[in-house]
Amino acid sequence: MGKKNILIVEDEQKIARFLELELKYEGYDVTIASNGREGFEKGKSPDVDLIILDLMLPGLSGIEVCRRLRQTSDVPIIMLTAKDDISDKVTGLDIGADDYMTKPFAVEELLARIRVLLKRKYQKNNDEDILEIGKLKLSKNNYKVEYDSENIELTKKEFELLEYLMRNKNIVLSREKILDNVWGYDYYGDTNIIDVYIRYIRSKIDQKYNVSLIETVRGVGYIIRDWRKTNGKDNS
């Protein structure tokens, strides 16, 4: 297996050069794009293993670049921004970014997050492709979720959170464990980001179909129970 190729999409030359030197020192191949359009074109290459994408870019914004790439690619994306606002983080994650860092940041932390995302990307996973609980069905291969054969539109992060909960059904999962496994690192920002995404999922499944899918365990976290092992019903 050859070197991993990382694309840096950053219009500030000093930051781009600094990241390039650090990544090359760590053994990565590096490609640089200085604006959104160039970043989008280079990001479409199958040779790119991970993208570091600035939020504020000339041409196309980082959000738009990420949105367009996600239409055809699941390459890991780490977004960079000078703004520390949870709404920006939620927007970035919702449109498909895998991680989010606020400038200034410690390069050691960035390198750690890169390792986590690359490991996750290339890790051979023998888990089941299809998960089912009651009338809820999740297909990992094509990112599809259905309830009673009706398609449910979820964002990438919502899908990953639901998959993790379903894969660990009947187990109470702490917020810390969810953060570590779904986001892939110890999240030091607002821990209520999990609660935000749980509300999103509940609005699309629990409330729409009048089921009690995700239960809150006060002071701990969340659990999805296998209805077939409780009452054999889809609501509790």
Beta partners for residue 215, in sequence order: 223
pLDDT at 128: 55
Of the pLDDT bands very low, low, confident and very high (cuts 50, 70, 90), residue 17 is very high
pLDDT the model gives residue 232: 40
The mean-pLDDT minimum among 121-135, 164-178, 204-218, 220-234 falls in 220-234
Fold of 5-122: Rossmann fold (3.40.50)
Indicate if the pLDDT at residue 63 is higher than 50. Answer: yes
d(CA 8, CA 207): 41
Q: Where are the domains of the chain?
A: 5-122, 130-229
Q: Residue 234: pLDDT above 90?
A: no
Count of Cβ atoms closer than 10 Å to residue 22 Cβ: 15
The least confident of 38-52, 90-104, 141-155, 162-176 is 90-104
Answer whether CATH 1.10.10.10 is correct for domain 130-229: yes
- Partners of 52 in the β-ladder: 8, 78
Average pLDDT for 82-89: 70
Q: What is the pLDDT of residue 124?
A: 41
In the chain, pLDDT over 70 holds for what percent of residues?
Answer: 87
- pLDDT confidence tier of residue 42, bands split at 50, 70 and 90: very high
Spatial distance between the Cα atoms of 113 and 99, rounded to a whole number of angstroms: 8
Average pLDDT of the segment spanning 196-222: 92
Over residues 160-182, mean pLDDT: 88
- pLDDT for 10 equals 96
How high is the mean pLDDT of the chain?
85
Residue 227: band (very low, low, confident or very high) from pLDDT cuts 50, 70, 90: low
**Taking CA 130 as the corner, what is the angle to CA 128 and CA 136, rounded to the nearest 5 degrees?**
135
The predicted pLDDT at position 175 comes to 86
Query: Per-residue confidence at 50, pLDDT binned at 50, 70, 90?
Result: very high
